[in-house]
């Protein structure tokens, strides 16, 4: 997977991606990260890439030409083949989720366009952008953090990036369920014991426990995910029991507050 990032802050990208698992993947050549400074494509004395918005209003707008020149350079001199997806990070985009990451992980190259100030001239967006993506309903100062969130998520789905191939599949959101809780040594910490089944070495019981814990956790923390989950009848009964318990606890809490 080759990531190409159009940005005014290339070091934000290279520094963050150079750490931890993504850093290792870069060293191994499993992923590449090319952070390209849009300012290098300005054609004026002071390398300015922004200007006042037509019609007035607060803030500055990034100009179309340096963004377009930057894109053309990446496409024609680095990727050298047409059809590469260009992702513009914006709170107005489709909200990023694990399925989108899975789909994007199949691409060989991805271009991310990070905006700053009050945005980018609409004409260049219309010309080059294929996907508008938001990472959630809140407004950040620029597109770099969202691009990093996306690249980190996509990277760990690229074969060879995680040393344990199965771990990308068995965690939160696979099957629309959250991951079960994890424990490590010591077996007793501050008087709290690890669930005994984890020490039993009984494979079948372990699998059953993992699955049950995933269902309970999802019912408690993210019941909205269950809409797409495929559960057995017994598991649905468990969901209803958990939800009844949660409702009873909420009720007791609000009675406590009122008294
Ligand atoms: N730029 C500013 N806020 C953003 C968000 N929530 N998602 C993607 N890009 C953004």
Q: What is the per-residue pLDDT across 14-73, written as a single tens digit (0 to 9) for each?
A: 999 999 999 999 999 999 999 999 999 999 999 999 999 999 999 999 999 999 999 999
Separation of 72 CA from ligand 1 center, angstroms? 24
Ligand 1: residue whose CA is nearest its atom 4: 91
Q: What is the pLDDT of residues 164-196, one digit of tens each?
A: 755 666 567 878 999 999 999 999 999 999 999
Q: What is the mean pLDDT of residues 116-135?
A: 96
Atom of ligand 1 nearest to the CA of 133: 8
Quote the CA–CA distance of 117 and 142 in Å, as a whole number. 7
Ligand 1: residue whose CA is nearest its atom 10: 90
Per-position b or e across 47-68, b if 16+ CB within 10 A of its CB: eebbeeeeeeeeeebbbbebbb
The ligand 1 site (C-beta within 6 Å) comprises 89-91, 134-136, 138-140, 143, 146
Q: Which SS3 state, helix, strand or coil, does residue 26 take?
A: helix
Ligand 1: residue whose CA is nearest its atom 2: 140
User: Which residue reads 């004395």 in tokens?
Assistant: 45
Quote the CA–CA distance of 5 and 34 in Å, as a whole number. 6
Task: Determine which helix (DSSP H) or strand (DSSP E) holds 101, and give its type and residue range.
Answer: helix 98-104
**Residue 258 has what pLDDT?**
87
Quote the CA–CA distance of 73 and 235 in Å, as a whole number. 54
Separation of 91 CA from ligand 1 center, angstroms? 4
Question: How does the average pLDDT of the chain come out, rounded?
Answer: 95
Quote the CA–CA distance of 211 and 82 in Å, as a whole number. 44
Separation of 114 CA from ligand 1 center, angstroms? 9
Separation of 138 CA from ligand 1 center, angstroms? 7
């Amino acid at each position: 997977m080759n990531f190409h990032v159009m940005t005014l802050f290339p070091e934000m990208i290279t520094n963050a991606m150079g750490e931890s698992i993504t850093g290792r993947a870069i060293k191994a050549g499993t992923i590449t990260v090319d952070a390209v400074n849009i300012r290098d494509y300005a054609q004026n004395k002071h390398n300015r890439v922004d200007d006042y918005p037509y019609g007035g209003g607060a803030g500055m707008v990034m100009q179309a030409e340096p963004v377009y020149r930057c894109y053309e350079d990446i496409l024609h001199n680095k990727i050298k083949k047409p059809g590469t997806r260009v992702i513009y990070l914006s709170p107005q985009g489709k909200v990023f989720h694990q399925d989108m990451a899975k789909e994007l992980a199949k691409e060989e190259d991805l271009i991310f366009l990070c905006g700053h100030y009050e945005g980018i001239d609409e004409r260049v967006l219309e010309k080059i952008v294929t996907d508008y993506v938001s990472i959630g309903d809140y407004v950040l100062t620029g597109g770099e953090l969202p691009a990093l969130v996306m690249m980190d998520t996509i990277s760990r789905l690229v074969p060879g990036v995680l040393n344990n191939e199965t771990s990308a599949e068995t965690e939160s959101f696979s099957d629309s369920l959250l991951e079960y809780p994890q424990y490590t040594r010591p077996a007793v910490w501050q008087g709290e014991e690890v669930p005994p089944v984890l020490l039993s070495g009984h494979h079948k019981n372990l699998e059953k426990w993992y699955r049950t814990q995933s269902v309970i956790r999802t019912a408690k923390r993210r019941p909205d995910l269950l809409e797409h989950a495929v559960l057995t009848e017994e598991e649905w009964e468990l969901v209803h029991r958990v939800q009844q318990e949660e409702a009873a606890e909420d009720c007791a809490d609000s009675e406590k507050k009122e008294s």
